[in-house]
Amino acid sequence: MSSSKRTRKGRGTSRKRFKVADIYKRYFSTGATVYGLAIAVIFILPSYVVFERNLNNLTFFYPYLYPAIVALNLGLAATLKKFRVMAAILTLALAIAFFQVPLRDYIDNQAAPSSPVTRSLQVVTYNWLQTNKNYEGFQQWLIAQQPDIVVIEEVPAVFWKNYPALSTLYPYTNDSKDSNDLAILSRYPIENIEWVPIADRKILSTKINIHGKSITVVAVHPQTILDDHIWERRNTYLAAVAPVVGTDATDTIVLGDFNTSPWNPVYKSLLEDANLHAEPRLLPPLTRILFKKDGIEFGAPIDHIIVSENMTISACRTGDAFGSDHLPLICTVGN
């Protein structure tokens, strides 16, 4: 009796395995499987896991790569029958990886209550570039845009020699006028300035008094990724931002050249850990321009302005380069 049951059970398992194998043979192929694994490891996994510099750096170019891969999937599905299911799975996975970032920002932006501290503050972040000499161009842009708070990265010591031209518009700034890499210019009184050292870089944390109420403005600038060692230091730097901000921060703005894209898991962890969000957009502003010709720009979204959960952020846009390899990013925060 027991032998017969084992025999029937074994046959049932064989039939089940046969059905699974039959489904695989019908809808997939070895080529489709290898293709799917390659796309998953190279283009999907890096948006969730920090594991290899070059693969994680591909997130800089997701606005270009994702549409290209979706187009490739559609082409394969149209011409190769056994690629159709895999193409559908990959397209769905790519869509989730790409759109989860703006979806989260949208939800957080909609949930933000009215902030009593700030109303339509205009804030700017701009990587100056150490060799940039176009002070007048940037000054005229600031006069035209009238932002309330400006954070500048890669500030050379010579920048402060030209600061008097801006001092009427921005009478408050950080107290050190040497080449500190980070500078903050404000229309409103700066109550407190704290430099937080992270390896050979610093995070600049300030309190600004706006009509009797205080907001926190945190300026960041990790290193440009040139090798694995610097990549690790970039990740360490960004991981240190959340403790500076705090998990229950309110009326907080974090901005600067992050040297990372919105799809990088290090950036996403920062937003999660510190309860921050950016403006919800399908395509963030491209701020680091790598190539420009005949009106066509190729770049990456690596400069960001993000705010605490009780604030909204909108109307983000870029200006001209003014001699830098970055574009200034300006956003409206508050309500």
Amino acid at 280: P
Predicted confidence (pLDDT) per residue in 138-195, tens digit: 999 999 999 999 999 998 887 888 888 888 999 999 876 666 689 999 999 999 999 9
Angle at CA of residue 129, ends 265 and 284, nearest 5°: 40
pLDDT (average), residues 235-240: 96
pTM above 0.85, yes or no: yes
By DSSP bridging, strand 303-308 and strand 252-257 are antiparallel
- Give the CB-side neighbour count of residue 210, counting CA atoms within 13 A: 22
User: What residues does 124 pair with on adjacent strands?
Assistant: 150, 330
CA angle 204, 210, 214 (to 5 degrees): 60
Q: For tokens 């920048």, name the residue.
A: 159
For tokens 């950080």, the residue is 174
User: Which segments of the chain belong to CATH 3.60.10.10?
Assistant: 115-334
Work out whether the CA dihedral 193, 198, 199, 202 comes out positive or negative.
negative
Q: What is the dihedral of CA 185, 188, 191, 195, to 10 degrees?
A: -20
- Ordered alpha helix ranges (H), the chain: 2-27, 30-39, 53-57, 62-79, 84-111, 135-145, 164-167, 228-245, 265-274
Neighbours of 109 (CB within 10 A): 19
Give per-residue pLDDT as tens, 107-116.
988 887 755 5
Which amino acid is residue 323, in one-letter code? G
Residue range 269-322, pLDDT digits in tens: 999 999 999 999 988 999 998 888 777 888 999 999 999 999 999 999 999 999
pLDDT value for 180: 66
DSSP sequence for 103-169: HHHHHHHHHPPPPSS-SSEEEEEEE--TT---HHHHHHHHHHH--SEEEEEEE-GGGGGSTHHHHTT
Question: What fold does the segment set 115-334 form as a domain?
Answer: Deoxyribonuclease I; Chain A (3.60.10)
Indicate whether 65 pLDDT > 60. yes
Q: Rounded mean pLDDT of the chain?
A: 88
Q: What pLDDT, on a 0 to 100 scale, did the predictor assign at position 6?
A: 52
